């Protein structure tokens, strides 16, 4: 829709315009080298990272797909005046995006890149799991059946790749190909230590922002420079990301996830029973004030249930963690 809006706006302004789209199925109506060379300027209307190396030396204007769709005519007019040649490694933001925090724009773009690559895993895995249920809700438990095979492909494999792919392509958006390996390793660790999607997102950003300065600032002799993208960067970034996930992020994220579940349940139960707090920030001391909470017993029950869910959830996460074998010498 954004491509169609830009095309119509360009024609209405009297400009010749060609639009290339890049979605989940890849590039469509791809611009040729000749078209790029002849273009006066290029508008990059994208919410995910797009490789700009094809457009080196050309005037570029960056904006979001939302602006391209809703404000297509003003977008073209601003591009004609504000487009500029980008320096290699420069901060890439343009147009209305400069009104936002550059950090906010970057974080959103990196996260959306990871999600866009993860979605096919979610969709394919979910459909395969649903197909396994066609033979019966518990039919997959019988080994050797088609239902068991579908569940293994969808739930055991496709879903297992969701967090590694999310983390890997967040890191890719930040550090290009150098970030994929450490990002996926960090994402797999996040899945293994039960840190979930929050852990995967943290692993992706950590891997990307560790790999990026190594790629940019570590200078090696020309004889070993070719080893940097395949050995030095993956090794350093994977080591830093992995150790951080195991010793720093894993435990806190597990606690946070359990607390979120318990807190959400307490809030939902409080709303269900219509609990009202006259002093909502008074903590447990509000219980000492007569009629400050109504109905007080059901409110206390909601807190107790949520606390139990938090405790039992964290215990379940810890129970499911792989034990570490330690050999003792007599």
- CA pair distance 230, 177, nearest whole angstrom: 10
Tell me what the mean pLDDT of segment 200-214 comes to. 93
Q: What is the pLDDT of residues 64-123, one digit of tens each?
A: 888 888 888 888 888 888 888 876 545 444 544 444 455 666 788 899 899 999 999 999
Residue (of 198, 169, 168) closest to 317 by Cα position: 198
Contacts of 288 (CB under 8 A, 6+ apart): none
- CA pair distance 283, 153, nearest whole angstrom: 48
Please give the structure tokens belonging to residue 269: 């139960």
Contacts of 255 (CB under 8 A, 6+ apart): 314
Residue range 2-99 in CATH 3.40.50.2300: yes
* pLDDT number for residue 325: 46
How large is the C-alpha radius of gyration of the chain?
26
What residue segments make up the domains of the chain, in order of their start?
2-99, 102-249, 253-320
Q: How many CA atoms lie within 13 A of 145 on its CB side?
A: 15
Which residues face 84 on adjacent strands? 60
pLDDT grade for 283, boundaries at 50, 70 and 90: low
Tell me what the mean pLDDT of segment 221-226 comes to. 83
pTM score of the predicted model? 0.64
> 269 and 306 in contact (C-beta within 8 Å)?
yes
Q: What is the pLDDT of residues 138-193, one digit of tens each?
A: 889 888 899 999 999 999 999 999 999 999 999 999 988 889 999 999 999 998 88
Please give the structure tokens belonging to residue 136: 């019966």
């Amino acid at each position: 829709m954004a491509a169609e809006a830009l095309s119509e706006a360009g024609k209405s302004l009297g400009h010749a315009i060609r639009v290339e789209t890049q979605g989940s199925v890849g590039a469509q109506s791809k611009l040729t080298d000749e078209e790029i060379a002849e273009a006066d300027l290029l508008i990059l209307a994208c919410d995910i990272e797009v490789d700009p190396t094809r457009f080196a030396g050309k005037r570029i204007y960056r904006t979001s797909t939302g602006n391209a769709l809703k404000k297509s005519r003003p977008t073209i007019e601003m591009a004609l005046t504000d487009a500029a040649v980008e320096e290699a490694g420069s901060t890439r933001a343009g147009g209305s995006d400069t009104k936002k925090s550059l950090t906010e724009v970057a974080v959103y773009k990196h996260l959306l890149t990871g999600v866009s690559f993860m979605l096919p895993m979610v969709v394919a895995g979910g459909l395969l799991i649903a197909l396994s249920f066609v033979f019966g809700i518990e039919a997959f438990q019988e080994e050797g059946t088609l239902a068991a095979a579908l569940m293994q492909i969808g739930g055991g494999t496709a879903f297992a790749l969701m967090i590694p792919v999310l983390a890997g392509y967040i890191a890719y958006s930040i550090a290009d190909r150098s970030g994929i390996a450490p990002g996926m390793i960090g994402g797999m660790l996040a899945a293994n230590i039960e840190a979930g999607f929050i852990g995967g997102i943290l692993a992706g950003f950590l891997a990307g922002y560790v790999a990026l300065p190594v790629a940019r600032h570590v200078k090696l002799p020309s004889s070993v420079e070719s080893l940097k993208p395949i050995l030095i960067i993956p090794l350093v970034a994977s080591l830093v990301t992995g150790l951080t996930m195991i010793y720093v992020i894993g435990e806190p994220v597990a606690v946070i996830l359990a607390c979120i579940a318990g807190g959400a349940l307490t809030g939902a139960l409080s709303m269900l029973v219509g609990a009202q707090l006259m002093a909502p920030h008074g903590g447990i001391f509000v219980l000492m004030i007569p009629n400050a909470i109504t109905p007080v017993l059901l409110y206390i029950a909601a807190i107790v249930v949520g606390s139990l869910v938090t405790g039992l959830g964290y215990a379940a996460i810890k129970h499911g963690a792989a034990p570490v074998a330690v050999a003792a010498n007599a």
